[in-house]
């Protein structure tokens, strides 16, 4: 099934675990080298902490935790992608940013349950087929939404 539009959009492509993901470039404010953050007690599992970015306190989200990936050592390739989501500026930690890529809408398919079995399909808007690789296109609002943090959900009685 083809995606809803044939319009070409640009995406920031990054690695997380062994997967390749994309975010619409118009949502990305900047990409910075990973820096240590300040822990915030009681912030929840998804929020790693906060950083001071040119005088602004920015919460940092750990996508590895969100997607259920094991934690990895921070390397020289680790980056913080500063994005605008849910009317807030936040940073997301990724293993490495590889490129900015123009992807025609016709190259993006809606995710099937089979394709997204390892990730919550709520976080995915599509799968782009580019050359010999697949790029998972993320729904940024849902990825960084505290409301969708399953670990914070109350237990059933």
pLDDT digits (tens, 9 = 90+) for 56-111: 999 999 888 888 888 888 999 999 999 998 888 999 999 999 999 999 988 998 87
Domain membership of residue 45 (yes or no) is: yes
Least confident of 13-22, 31-40, 69-78, 107-116: 107-116
Domain that holds residue 101: 8-144
Query: What is the per-residue pLDDT for 46?
Result: 78
Domain membership of residue 39 (yes or no) is: yes
Domain membership of residue 21 (yes or no) is: yes
Count how many domains the chain has.
Answer: 1
Query: What is the per-residue pLDDT for 148?
Result: 41
Q: Answer yes or no: is pLDDT of 152 > 70.
A: no
Domain membership of residue 16 (yes or no) is: yes
Domain membership of residue 17 (yes or no) is: yes
Q: What is the CATH number of the domain that holds 53?
A: 2.40.50.180
Q: Answer yes or no: is pLDDT of 154 > 60.
A: no
Q: At CA 56, angle to CA 53 and CA 59, rounded to 5? A: 80
Q: Answer yes or no: is pLDDT of 55 > 90.
A: yes
Number of other residues whose CB lies within 10 A of the CB of residue 80: 24
Per the CB < 8 A criterion, the answer to whether 85 and 27 are in contact is: yes
Number of other residues whose CB lies within 10 A of the CB of residue 126: 23
Query: What is the per-residue pLDDT for 137?
Result: 93
As a whole number of angstroms, the distance between CA 128 and CA 3 comes to 9
* Mean pLDDT value across residues 32-55: 88
Per the CB < 8 A criterion, the answer to whether 98 and 15 are in contact is: yes
Q: Answer yes or no: is pLDDT of 149 > 70.
A: no
Domain membership of residue 137 (yes or no) is: yes
pTM comes to 0.81
As a whole number of angstroms, the distance between CA 140 and CA 110 comes to 16
Domain membership of residue 155 (yes or no) is: no
Least confident of 3-7, 35-39, 104-108: 3-7
Domain membership of residue 153 (yes or no) is: no
């Amino acid at each position: 099934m083809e995606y809803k539009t044939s319009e070409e959009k640009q995406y920031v492509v990054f690695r997380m675990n062994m997967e390749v993901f994309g975010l619409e470039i118009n949502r990305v404010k900047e990409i910075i080298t990973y820096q240590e953050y300040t822990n915030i007690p009681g912030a929840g599992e998804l929020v790693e902490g906060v950083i001071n970015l040119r005088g602004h306190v920015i919460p940092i989200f750990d996508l590895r935790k969100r997607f259920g990936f094991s934690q990895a050592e921070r390397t020289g390739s680790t980056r913080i992608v500063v994005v605008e989501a849910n009317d807030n500026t936040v940073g997301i930690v990724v293993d490495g940013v590889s490129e900015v890529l123009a992807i025609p809408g016709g190259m993006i398919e809606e995710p099937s349950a089979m394709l997204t079995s390892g990730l919550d399909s709520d976080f995915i808007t599509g799968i782009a087929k580019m050359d010999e690789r697949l790029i998972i296109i993320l729904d940024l609002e849902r990825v960084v939404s505290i409301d969708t943090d399953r670990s914070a959900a109350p237990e059933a009685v």
